[in-house]
Structure 1
Amino acid sequence: QVLPKISQVLKIQQDPTKKTFSSLADFISDREILLLLDNFEHVMDAAFQLNKLLGSCPNLKILVTSRIVLNINGEYEYPVPQLPLPQRDKYHSIKELQAIPSVQLLVTRARAIKPTFELTNKNKRAIIEICIKLDGLPLALELAAARIKIFSPEALNKRLSFNFDLLSSNSENTPDRHKTLRNAIDWSYSLLSVEEQTLFRRLSVFSGGCNIEAAQDVCFRDYLDNLDIIDSLSGLVNKSLLQQEEQYDGEPRFFMLETIKAFGQEKLKLSLEEDLIMQRYIAFFLSLLEEAKQNLTGPEQGNWLDLLELELDNIRSILTWAEGRSDVEMGLKVTVAVWRFWTIRSMVREGAQWMSRLLSLAKEQSETKLHCRALNAYGMMFSLTNNISDSFQVFNDSLRIARKLDYREGLAEVLNHLGWVYHFDCQFDLSEQYSNEAMQIQKELGNQRGISVSYNNLAVVAAFRGQMKSSFDLYNKSKSIRKEIGDIRGYAYSLINQAWIEIFMGKYFKSNQNTSLGIEILSKLSDTQLLAWAKTVRALNLFHMGKLKASKNLALEAQPLWEKSGTHTGLLRAKVIYLLCRLREYDFSGLKRELADLMENSGRVAKVLIFDIRYAMALLSLYKKDEEQAYEYSRENLRHILTVGSHIYTCDNLELISYLSLRKKNSKTALKLYSTASILRNKLQMPIPQVLQSFHHDLNRQLVSHFDTVTYDTLWKQGQALDARSCMRLLR
């Protein structure tokens, strides 16, 4: 039918002695002619005739539109992409939206049907969702626009998931296959072989696509002997029912547009094999996620993180399935496998929400190893996004189950996590106790990574106790183990933690080197959380060096990273550094309120940050000439520091109280306190930060001017004989 139709359009007089092909080829001969053939997919048998015609007519060009590739010599394929889409998670102004082709088409067609229709701030969110749900497909958008006459964009969007019959047209000028979205897709589906139809609907089970391995395991298991997987997938791609792109590792990945997938899932349900395919789908990904869990702390963790991000929609699909059927065991297996991925890739809020809902479905008496590990993972995510103190109950539930079941691996893990979170609450003795117990069990189990975590926890405790050399050495042990086992992220984390300690030890250049190396490693892992920590440490380093502008800018850079990662404690750290910089620059605007807010939040999120905040409040009071208030803040800070044993802050506070005592005319007390702070700095190996050098120079000059040499030396020696608690008694 194709060649006679071409002859008819070209008005060729048919020679009865010649075949149609010969007449057509003779007519075209060496003429320069362009033939346009539309919707060729329903006459694919004629493709070989076109191939022959092209071979006979050297100057002939044919432009063909088809949902199926013709596979003839000299064919150049130009896929027609869907229209560019707005971004769901980005703010778009009305002007920006009007320039996006998918939105343009929807709005233009809607106005043609309803002239009063306008794109507004009220309906733009619904318009964005409609365009995204319909994949930017022109036909789907035109059919949706037709419904704007009855439904508002908001109402249409609510009804759109996925109601194929809603997207239809009654236009007399529209071919039947284009009158509904279902007809349009069904037209392509009807052109598939029975085997291709089976594979197509099975592939619709994937969310966000799949690689060849997944497709073979889930969809091709019945056909391995008589169907080639590559040819079958390529065939569906050539027929425009499957899309193909390149993964991060260069491997092909196959996916369906949402409109096509919804149609495929509809067909899958009608086929009565949905449960079978879903079981295979879940089994494949549970196996994959278990393997991922084992590799997220090893040498290949970067590749596994990228793979999990690629499979994120499939992970969400399985969790939705599990939650919908109250299959807590399946859901918890998934969350336990991927919680670390969620934390690293800034999805901790989402992960915590999944775990919260699944755990709420579990029986109250559920005391299994899986439940123990799930509570432990949930505790870590909960501690990052919520109240640290409230997370203790979650961890203690996990701890109770681990002890009851004598589950050594789970026990060691939860003890390490408790050892970590208790330091935020200034409970350093408990932190040390749990970390040491975890260390002992991890050594029994031969778990090198677990041992490195225990060393890290003990290093943190030592740091806050002011034991800088001990802390640095413990971090070094943790770093060495992590390097040996190939825990790239852990190695970078240890580097940054050492950089943090090096600041207090006055090793600013070395600290900068370590953060630079850490940032280089973490950037490759797309680890927002630890990148935020690295920038925060570098901002602190710059602050200690007295480079306030640079420190302030870096602290500001770190804040959105902390917010993205969902980590409240880190966000507060960055804000404290930023406000300390502003204090030193004498920028007091709104500072009192901001410090008060930080004080309230730190009491809820991380009490360990209170000392820096109260110190800043004392400085602000001093700068505003309220020396009595500054004295009270400093005195209260020192009392609190001594109560919890957080001596990393002792020297700074003693020196500030020394200055304030001098202002109060208590020069002897001031000198003794300053002397005590001086010897304590030497003992703790915490030299005076560069940012405080001028303050110390001025304070020392004033103290010297108040006494003769003999009196000064006597009081200095008396101060060196005191400890911090004795100094506190001087202030009563």
Structure 2
Amino acid sequence: MRVTNDPSAEAPDAPGRPRAALTSFVGRRRELSDVKRRLTETRLVTLTGPGGVGKTRVALEVAERSRRGLRDGVWIAELASLGDASRLAQVIVSALVLPDQSNRDPMDKLVSYLRDRQLLIVLDNCEHLLEAAARVAETLLSASPGLRILTTSREPLGIHGEGICVIPPLTTPSTQQSHTAKAVVHYEAVSLLVDRARLVLPDFEVTAENVGAVVQLCERLDGIPLAIELAATRLRSLSVTQIVERLDKRFSLLTGGDRVAMPRQQTLRALIDWSFDLCTEHEQLLWARLSIFPASFDLDAAEQTCAFPPLVPDSIIDLLDRLVAKSIVLTERTGERVRYRQLMTIREYGAEVLATSGETQTLKRRHRDHYLRKAAMMVERWCGPGQADAVTEMNDDHANLLSALEWSTNTEGEAGTAAELASLLRYHWVVGVDLSDGRRWLDQLLDAKEMSTSQRGQALWVSAWIALMQGDRDDAARKLIECDTIAATLGDRRLLAHATQWRGLHDFTTGDIATAITRYQKSIDIHTDYADTASVLTALFQLAIAQVYNSQLDQALQTCQRAIEMSERLGEQWNRSYALWITGLCHWHRGEPEAAKHAALQALRLGGDFKDSICTALTIELLSWIAASAADFHTAADLSGAAAAVWAGLGTDVEAFGPHLQQDSIYSTKTAVEALGEKTVAAVARRNATMTLDAAVALALGESGQPESASAPARSLLTKRENEIAKLVAEGLSNRAIAESLVLSPRTIDGHVERILTKLDFASRTQIASWVASQKR
């Protein structure tokens, strides 16, 4: 039978013709564009990704959209049920409905038939036939210049010229953010859930009542289309909330899919069983051991935690690479940094396997010990050029750190080590994340009292430090007095230095500046004796701010300069950014606004790598005061509102840092209110209340335009070029097409689009398009 592109000439039930889809195709705009582009660049493209992610559906959609551009059409060879690799060529022959009924070798038939034809063959589900599929594809492509092959597989075929497109899970809203029912449907996972739910429940919709459960469901199902579709069928008898409550039994809950689908696509467990069975014994073992990580991890963590008999350290990278190739482990790249993660469904399956092996407690301990060593190294190396990277890595490992703390706290005899870990994470709590997590864990451990006296002393001063940042001075005072007593009892001068330093901060925040200066100077001397440079630098900038409000402005500048010079020699930035902020504060008090602004902006730029909310809020406050002093009241109000947004994210405010800073803030706000009116200042505060840290910094640095109205603050986050690119994205242009239109490199456009997604807190181009449309209303 001659294959044509005339639909009337095609047998609707021909074995290899694309079947008409019975459900709508949701999302995947970027993936479809990428696959079609790759097919123009290379004649073999493989779609990879974890089971159930929708590789087949994307391939079939691409096939359907490509059909009219290929003279001899598109043909599908479904290989999931093929167990005998030697029959692969015959299956393709059958899919193509070849008219040759002779007894020739199937490969000869294919080569002869395809030689002069222009068509696309989709080889669907190749993961269990990789070698055979690779041989057949290479032979056919070599003999047939007009042939293109699109394959789907959990791992690539691994032959020269193969283009690989990774099909990721659907875009999914984060449970860490709040979402409205109207906005959340722009995410692909939610859109698919709604679409499929309406097949069994026609009036289903996302509402204010169920939006939280919808977000949880999509995130916990990892945005995997098959899992979402199986969950949607359960909406015949359950609410979204009830499904979420039963997700700890997901492998029994998510069953009952399409009766005519392959058996492994009818239940979630069968799907994962299929992937597990395709792994070697050692790959299965590493899969199970990696389930100990609750979120992403790096190579060092995998090697340190999982490499014990029968797995040797040198084997981990190869096994991990093979699990990445099989789409069991996903990669996350930021510059040269690579992290790995398992989808929650994959991880829970591995955890079940791990539980039967009896290795869970061993792995939990190894996991905790790895992050204990990493935390100790962060403190040891804090005063150096790697500070920002260390903070970023710990932020990335936050879920792992909490898991390590939880296991240690709840395991008999491990509470002391948990307290040690929580104390060593001091910079992670204060610089990297929110203050509450650190204080909550430290206070819980201090209440347990199952630790050595020395461990308790360390936990006390770190917890007091955080309490002071949150404005809880009474709690901090109690802890520091106890810490002081422990230091005296143990004769531990290093512990005494920490207790003295933070008692100095307590004195400053309660208005006793003279005592604070005395304590700071004493702690600096002891820290110096023990070569604890990091603590010396922190105590120096604390001493400087006390000197500012003790009318010792010249001495304060000298102290700041000492700290800055020490920091510069070491390549240290965090303490330097605080010293620069205080330098700006000092110049402002001296009536030198230009010098004050210069130092403040330096502090803000230097602290950008850390995303230290405390230093950022204090510096933006200072820039607001400088603007108010210069009678630039609109800027002062804008910056004050931005600082308030940062403070709100921290769960504290400027009052926590003492009456003197608070008084400066109150005076500046009062002058702005007197000049602009209370309603105007309040409106600006409301407009800026939802600003992210990055947006607040951009505003303070003058890198974002003023908001056009209270209803359009998001537009001000984007530069003029980014707004231009966002509009082109909304018009459906690919990054390459945008690059050609603006005469820029594709790499430059890639960077702009990623920044747009980050600034607007979006996960997909579809959301950018919806946002652009909303700006026109």
TM-score by length of 2: 0.72
1:504–1:38: structure 2 CA closer, same or farther, 3 Å change rule?
same
Tell which deviates more after alignment, 314-323 or 456-465: 456-465
- Counterparts of residues 668-679 of structure 1 (less than 5 Å): none
- Determine the C-alpha separation between the residues in 2 that align with 1:446 and 1:219: 36
Q: What is the distance in 1 between the residues matched to 2:559 and 2:369?
A: 42
In structure 2, the CA distance between the partners of 1:292 and 1:30, relative to structure 1 (3 Å rule), is same
Cα distance in structure 2, aligned partners of 1:229 and 1:455:
45
Alignment check: 8 A CA contact 2:259 2:266 kept: no
Matches for 1:173-192 after TM superposition, within 5 Å: 173-192=260-279
Greater helix share, structure number: 1
Confirm or deny: 8 A CA contact 1:375 1:395 kept in the other structure: yes
Corresponding position of 2:346:
260
In the aligned structure 2, how far is the partner of 1:546 from the partner of 1:311? 45
Partner of 2:395: 309
| Cα pair distance change 1:256/1:386, threshold 3 Å | same
**What is the CA–CA distance in structure 2 between the aligned matches of 1:480 and 1:73, rounded to whole Å?**
55
Q: 1:403 aligns with which of 458, 469, 488?
A: 488
- More displaced, 320-329 or 139-148? 320-329
Conserved? CA contact 1:242–1:256, under 8 Å: yes
Q: 1:88 aligns with which of 169, 175, 190?
A: 175
- How far residue 315 of structure 1 moved from its aligned partner, in angstroms, is 1.0
Task: Find the counterpart in structure 2 of residue 561 from structure 1.
Answer: 646
Give the whole-Å Cα distance in 1 for the aligned partners of 2:184 and 2:528: 59
Asked if the contact 1:322/1:330 (under 8 Å) is kept, the reply is: yes
Contact kept? 1:449, 1:485, Cα under 8 Å:
no
1:60 is aligned, of 147, 150, 153, to: 147
Shift of 1:463: 2.7
Q: 1:324 aligns with which of 410, 415, 419?
A: 410
Match of 1:100 among 187, 195, 207: 187
Contact 1:14 1:20 in 2 (8 A): no
Question: 1:50 aligned to 110, 123, 137, which one?
Answer: 137
Matched ranges for 1:638-717 at <5 A: none
Aligned partner letter, 1:198: L
Q: How far, CA to CA, are the matches of 1:443 and 1:296 in structure 2?
A: 16
Partner AA of 1:183 in structure 2: A
1:289 and 2:375 are equivalent in the alignment:
yes
- Per the TM alignment, residue 219 of structure 1 is displaced from its structure 2 partner at its CA by 2.3
Match of 1:579 among 669, 677, 682: 669
CA drift at 1:578: 5.1
Distance 1:546 1:591, change over 3 A: closer
Are positions 1:426 and 2:426 aligned together?
A: no
Deviation at residue 170 of structure 1 after TM alignment? 5.4
Give the deviation of 1:229 after TM superposition.
Answer: 4.0
* 1:155 matched residue in structure 2: 242
- Please identify the structure whose Cα radius of gyration is greater: 1
The separation in 2 between residues aligned to 1:199 and 1:522, in whole angstroms, is 39
> Is the Cα–Cα contact under 8 Å of residues 379 and 424 in structure 2 kept in the other structure?
yes
Contact 2:230-2:257 within 8 A present in 1 as well: no
Question: Is 1:459 aligned with 2:544?
Answer: yes
- Distance in 2, matches of 1:55 and 1:226, equals 41
- CA deviation profile, 1:41-62 (whole Å, cap 9, x unmatched): 2333422233223223232222
2:368–2:408 contact (8 Å) kept in structure 1: no
In structure 1, what residue type is equivalent to 2:564?
A: K
**1:392 aligns to 2:474 (yes or no):** no
* In 1: Cα distance, 2:249 partner to 2:556 partner: 58
Deviates more, 1:567-576 or 1:518-527: 567-576
Q: Counterpart of 1:381 in 2: which secondary structure?
A: helix
Is 1:370 aligned to 2:455, yes or no? yes
How far residue 233 of structure 1 moved from its aligned partner, in angstroms, is 2.1
Structure 2 match to 1:128: 215
Q: Distance in 2 between matches of 1:38 and 1:332?
A: 53
> Residue 102 of structure 1: CA displacement?
0.7
User: CA–CA distance in 2 between the matches of 1:516 and 1:537?
Assistant: 10
Q: Could you tell me which residue of structure 1 aligns to residue 104 of structure 2? A: 18
- Cα distance in structure 2, aligned partners of 1:227 and 1:394: 46
Structure 2 residue 202 is matched with structure 1 residue 115: yes
Distance 2:410 2:589 in 1: 52
User: Paired residue for 2:230?
Assistant: 143
Distance 1:442 1:37, change over 3 A: closer
Task: Give the Å deviation of 1:129.
Answer: 0.7
Matched, 1:165 2:252: yes
Q: 1:122-155 CA deviation, whole Å, 9 max, x = no partner? A: 0011001100111111000011112222221112
The letter for the 2-side match of 1:564 is: G
Equivalent of 2:113 in 27, 37, 40:
27
Paired residue type of 2:288: R
Decide which of 511, 522, 534 is 2:619's aligned counterpart: 534
> What letter matches 1:392 in structure 2?
A
1 CA distance for matches of 2:455 and 2:109? Answer: 77
**Cα gap change, 1:588 to 1:74, in 2 (>3 Å):** closer
Give the distance between the partners of 1:578 and 1:505, measured in 2 at CA.
16
The one-letter amino acid paired with 1:318 is A
Counterpart of 1:545? 630
Q: Which residue of 2 aligns with 1:8?
A: 94
Equivalenced residue count is 589
Cα distance between partner residues in 2 of 1:367 and 1:237:
43
Query: In the alignment, is the contact (CA less than 8 A) between 1:296 and 1:341 conserved in 2?
Result: no
The answer as to whether partners of 1:559 and 1:575 remain within 8 angstroms in 2 is: no
* Residue identity in the other structure for 1:239: K
Spell out the pairing of 1:413-452 with structure 2 (5 A cutoff). Answer: 413-452=498-537
Q: What is aligned with 1:352?
A: 439
Q: What secondary structure sits across from 2:164 in the alignment?
A: coil
Would the aligned equivalents of 2:198 and 2:204 in 1 still touch at CA under 8 Å? Answer: yes
Greater CA drift, 52-61 or 309-318: 52-61
Q: 1:590 to 1:227 in 2, by over 3 A?
A: closer
Letter in 1 for 2:297: C
Q: Give the superposed CA RMSD.
A: 2.5
Residue 65 of structure 1 deviates from its aligned partner by 1.7
SS at match of 2:165: coil
How far residue 456 of structure 1 moved from its aligned partner, in angstroms, is 3.3
Q: Compared with structure 1, are the counterparts of its residues 459 and 65 closer, same or farther at alpha carbon in structure 2 (3 Å cutoff)?
A: closer
* Structure 2 alignment gaps of length 5 or more: 1-86, 683-777
User: Structure 1: which 5+ residue stretches go unaligned?
Assistant: 593-732
Is the CA contact (8 Å cut-off) linking 1:533 and 1:570 kept in structure 2?
no
Does the 8 A contact of 1:551 with 1:581 survive in 2? no
Per-residue deviation, 1:98? 2.3
Instruction: Return closer, same or farther for 1:455/1:68 CA change in 2, 3 Å cut-off.
Output: closer
Within the candidate set 477, 501, 505, 2:590 is matched to 505
Query: Which amino acid in structure 1 is aligned with residue 267 of structure 2?
Result: T
Letter in 2 for 1:394: K
In structure 1, give the amino acid aligned to 2:349.
Answer: F
User: Which whole-Å CA distance do the structure 2 matches of 1:9 and 1:461 have between them?
Assistant: 81
| CA distance in structure 1 between the aligned counterparts of 2:424 and 2:101, rounded to whole angstroms | 74
* Higher deviation after alignment, 367-376 or 37-46: 37-46
Change (3 A) 1:253 1:226: closer
- The residue that corresponds to 2:164 in the other structure is 77
- When residues 184 and 577 of structure 1 are mapped into structure 2, their CA distance, relative to the original with a 3 A threshold, is farther
Q: Is the 8 A contact 1:432 1:458 kept in 2?
A: yes
Same amino acid, percent of matched pairs: 24
1:386-436 Cα distance to aligned partner (Å, 9 max, x none): 422331001111111111111111110121111012111112343234223
What do residues 569-620 of structure 1 show as CA deviations (whole Å, max 9, x unaligned)? 358838625532234327356999xxxxxxxxxxxxxxxxxxxxxxxxxxxx
CA distance in 2, matches of 1:314, 1:427: 41
1:487 and 1:73 map into 2 onto residues whose CA distance is 47
Letter in 1 for 2:449: A
1:554 and 1:353 mapped to 2: Cα distance?
A: 31
Q: What secondary structure is seen at the aligned counterpart in 1 of 2:169? A: coil
Distance 1:459 1:186 in 2: 63
1:16 CA displacement: 5.7
Question: How many Å separate the matches in 2 of 1:331 and 1:239?
Answer: 36
Q: Deviations over 1:80-102 (max 9, x none)?
A: 11111123233433222222221
The amino acid that maps onto 1:478 is: A
What is the alpha-carbon distance in structure 1 between the residues aligned to residue 235 and residue 667 of structure 2? 52
Change (3 A) 1:455 1:172: closer
